[in-house]
Chains A and B, each alone.
Chain A
C-alpha cells in the first residue's frame, strides 16, 4: 500500500502515540510532529520511514491510546525487528528528548528541548524553561489522577 503524502503526518502521529505512550492530544500539543517527521526524512531519507509506516498501518488498531493485548503483541514484533529497531529508537528519543540521535546528535530547537516528554514523564520541568513557580518544588508533581 502506498502512503499518500497527506496521510503521512497523521500516521507518524499515530505511531508516535503507540511508541511514546503519550496521548494524541499531548503529541499535537507540542506543535512539533511536522518538524520531527522532517527531521527523520532529512536524516534517513523517506524510504525507511515509509516502510515502517506501511507496516504500522497494516496492524489493525482500534485506539492507539489503549492497545489490546494482541495489538500490543504486533507492535512488539515491529519494535524488536532488526529492520526497525534503530528508527523506532530514534523516534522515541525525538519525542522524549527533543534530540536527534544518529550519525550526528543534535537538539532540534529550543522548543523541542522544552517539549521533551521526559519532563512530563518524570514530573519535572526543563531547566531554564517552563518555570513551575517559586517554591513549587516543595510539592509532589502536579498531575490529575488517572
Chain B
C-alpha cells in the first residue's frame, strides 16, 4: 500500500529534519564563543556551515511536504537533550553544546564524516537523555541515500503524481534564504527531490570523491569545501587547495586558529542549573522562551504559513543577541569562572509567555 510505504519515508524525512536541526545548537555554540576578529577563519567557516544546516532543514521540510507529509517542529521530542546521543550503524558519540575547541571541532567532523573516510576519534561515554539521533546507516550521506532509494522505488511502483501529491503552497521558496551557500529548492517531483538531497549531502560531506561541495556545479557559486573539510581545515589549521584529495590532509595555506581566544562557556548550559532569580537564569529562560516561540513559528511556516519565515528569521537574530548576552554573564559560584550560554530547551506552549508578535497575529486574525 502506498500510504503504508509513504509512512516509512515520512518517518525518515522527519528524522532528517530533526537531525539537521540537532546540529545547529552545537554549531552555534562554537560560533558564538569565538571572537570574529581573533578567529576570523573559523568564525566564517562555522557561520557558513550553520547557515547551510538551516538550508538542509528547510529542504527536508520541502521534500516531506511534497509527498504529503507533515513536518513536526513544535514538539517536546523535536529537540534532543544535550549532550545529544548520535547513534550511527558503526559508531556512537555525544554532541554537546560546547564552546569552540579542538574537541568540539572533532565532534563536528564525526557528524559530517563522508562514507569513505575513517576517523580515529573515540566517542565519549553517553549520558542519559530524552531524544537521540538513531540511524541505521554509517553516515548522514548513507542515510540520505536510503531516502533517495525509497523515493525512487515509490515512484517506480505508484507513479510520480501519486507520490508527489503534496500541496505546492507549502513549499518554502528560494527567496526566503540568504547568507549561506546553496539555494532553497522547491520540491514537486522526483527530480527536484533528488536534487534537494544531493545539495544536502554534497554540502555536508562533499560531492562524490571530492573535497568540494556541489554549490559550484549546482548554483554557479564560488568554490567551497564541504562541511567535513571546512571543519578539518580548522582542526589542522590549514586550507585545502585545488587538487587535494578527500583522504589526504590539506596542503594549502596555513590559517591562524587561536584555540584559546574563546568565551569560557559552561558545557551544555541549562536554565535549571543556574540559581533561581540569578541573571544567568533569567537570560537563559528568556532565551528558551524565544527559542520555543521560534519553533512554533517555524512549525507554522512549514505547515502552510510560509510568509511567517520573515518573522522566524527575525527571531533567530534575536536569539543570537541574547546568546551573546548570556556569554557575558558569569555562572554564579563557578570556581573556574565559566560564563552562561544558550541552553536551547523546550518550553511547552502552556508555559510560554505572551509574545508581542503573536498577539499582533491574533488581532489580525480576529479583524
Contact = CB atoms under 8 A, between A and B. Distances in A.
Interface of A: 23-26, 28-31, 130-136, 138-145
A145 B360 contact: no
Contacts of B282: 23, 25
B360 A139 contact: yes
B328 A140 contact: no
A140 to B, nearest CB: 6
B121 interface: no
B11 interface: no
Q: Which 5 A-B pairs give the minimum distances between C-beta atoms?
A: A29-B325, A31-B328, A136-B314, A25-B279, A133-B314
A66 to B, nearest CB: 12
Q: Chain B's interface: helix, strand, loop or mixed, by majority? A: helix
Contact of A134 (B283, B310, B353): B310
A132 B314 contact: yes
B353 A144 contact: yes
Contacts of B328: 28-31
Interface stretch (B43-51, B106-114, B253-261, B316-324): B316-324
B289 interface: yes
B329 interface: yes
B355 A133 contact: no
B325 A30 contact: yes
Contacts of B325: 25-26, 28-31
Interface string B63-85: 00000000000000000000000
A134 B312 CA distance: 11
Interface string B318-339: 1001101111111000000000
A77 to B, nearest CB: 28
A108 to B, nearest CB: 15
B356 interface: yes
B85 to A, nearest CB: 32
B311 interface: yes
Interface string B256-299: 00000000000000000000000110110010010000000000
B4 interface: no
Contact of A25 (B283, B356, B359): B283
B359 A145 contact: yes
B313 interface: yes
Give the most central of A132, A133, A141: most B CB within 10 Å.
A133
B178 interface: yes
A144 B315 contact: no
B313 A145 contact: no
Given A29-B328, A133-B315, A144-B356, 5 more contacts: A24-B279, A29-B283, A29-B325, A31-B327, A130-B317
B50 to A, nearest CB: 15
Given A29-B326, A30-B328, A142 B315 contact: yes
18 contacts: A25-B283, A25-B325, A26-B325, A28-B279, A29-B283, A29-B326, A31-B327, A31-B328, A130-B317, A132-B314, A133-B316, A134-B310, A136-B311, A136-B313, A139-B311, A139-B357, A142-B357, A145-B354
Given A29-B326, A143-B356, A136 B279 contact: no
Given A29-B279, A29-B329, A132-B317, A140 B360 contact: yes
A141 B356 CA distance: 8
B357 A144 contact: no
A130 B360 CA distance: 23
Contact of B353 (A130, A138, A141, A145): A145
A140 B321 CA distance: 18
Nearest to A130: B321
A128 B310 CA distance: 19
A140 B356 contact: yes
